Amino acid sequence: MPCSAVTLSIATISAIIASALLAIAFSTDNWLLYDVKRSNIQAFAAKHPTDSEALLTSMNTKYYYYTRTRGLFRVCYPKERPPTSAVPTYLSPVETHCSNVDYFPNSDEEKSPNDDATSRLHLLRSCVALLIISFVTIFCAFWTGLSGCWKRSAGAITATAILLLAACLLAAGAMGLWHTVEFFEKEKVVGEDYYQQWNTVLKDNTKVSYDWSYVVAWTGVGTCLLAAILLSGAAICLKSEREKEEQLNLQYLMPVYSQKQPPYPPYAGYPQPQIYPAPYYHGSQYGPYNY
């Protein structure tokens, strides 16, 4: 079996898997897991009655005192859900109560966002935009790859590899922006909803970790890079196979050489008889008789 066929098959499977993984990560809500130990916070409030009233009030009115998962578009509550007064929730397609991430918050005169909060919001928007552009690039790569496989064109396969590499870089850039957003939420003052402005009790009793959607996203980026590399190898194999076919076809071409012998003399025809020269011998060549 030609190496181009094998490499193209593996590259196609890798590209399909990469697209599926990126789409799953994009649409699911398990990028970050905030595991809040509410029982420990209640126990702390019981031991410190002076701060218990304010702490218990926050526990019942602030959504970030509840265990939750966060994605690009939704914040979901797999355990207890906050009251409607804290945040409006709805039932997601996977039967989990969720609230939407606000990408276009209303400006408040009393509490205008600072530069760090504005930068975080722009970075989060750019992360989503880069992922959408990467999906568009993968869609274009699908058509160029289909044309390259149909025509067995090394140029079209190379173009597909370049498009998939661009999609991989765009998705990787989106992941880098996601980590930058995470850095802003942990180290900068971007709002009371995030780690930097939490009180000490909430910080000590909240564990923030990456969830499975985040792992799926990075796996999709790596698989997309693998598909681009395999397609580049398939293009090289296809080009070398075509060159071998051309060399093999040249062996079946018969060479044509020019004829260098002089042409036959023209036939004199009637009324002049045809004269054929004959050798002259002394004496008779048929017997011993001489005249």
Mention every residue, 6+ apart, whose C-beta is less than 8 A from residue 201.
41, 44, 55
Question: In whole numbers, what is the pLDDT of the chain averaged over residues?
Answer: 83
Compute φ and ψ for 76, nearest 5 degrees.
-115, 150
Pure H helices in the chain: 3-27, 38-47, 49-61, 115-151, 154-187, 200-204, 212-250
Q: What is the pLDDT of residue 246?
A: 66
Which stretches of the chain drop beneath a pLDDT of 70? 1-4, 107-112, 246, 249-291
Q: Could you give the C-alpha distances from 264 to 180, 259, 261, 267, 268, in angstroms and in order?
A: 92, 13, 9, 9, 12
* Residue-wise pLDDT tens digits, 111-170: 557 888 899 999 999 999 999 999 999 999 999 988 888 887 888 899 999 999 999 999
d(CA 281, CA 264): 26
Q: Could you give the C-alpha distances from 229 to 5, 20, 114, 143, 157, in angstroms and in order?
A: 15, 18, 44, 18, 11
Asked, for residue 270, whether it belongs to a domain, the answer is no
Asked, for residue 143, whether it belongs to a domain, the answer is yes
Q: What is the pLDDT of residue 263?
A: 55
Asked, for residue 279, whether it belongs to a domain, the answer is no
d(CA 51, CA 65): 16
Asked, for residue 271, whether it belongs to a domain, the answer is no
Q: How many domains does the chain have?
A: 1
The answer to whether the beta carbons of residues 209 and 3 sit under 8 Å apart is no
d(CA 99, CA 26): 16
Asked, for residue 260, whether it belongs to a domain, the answer is no
What is the residue whose two structure tokens read 């009793």?
205
Asked, for residue 57, whether it belongs to a domain, the answer is yes
**First vs last C-alpha separation in the chain:** 87
Compute φ and ψ for 68, nearest 5 degrees.
-155, 160
Mention every residue, 6+ apart, whose C-beta is less than 8 A from residue 56.
42, 45
d(CA 9, CA 121): 41
DSSP class of residue 64 equals G
Whichever domain contains 86, its CATH number is 1.20.140.150
Q: What is the pLDDT of residue 47?
A: 86
d(CA 200, CA 38): 14
Q: What is the pLDDT of residue 23?
A: 96
Tokens of 215: 């792992």
- Give the residue among 245, 250, 111 at the shortest CA–CA distance from 189: 111
d(CA 144, CA 44): 61
Asked, for residue 280, whether it belongs to a domain, the answer is no
Asked, for residue 132, whether it belongs to a domain, the answer is yes
Number of Cβ within 10 Å of residue 174's Cβ equals 23
Residue range(s) defining the domain that contains residue 201: 3-103+114-239
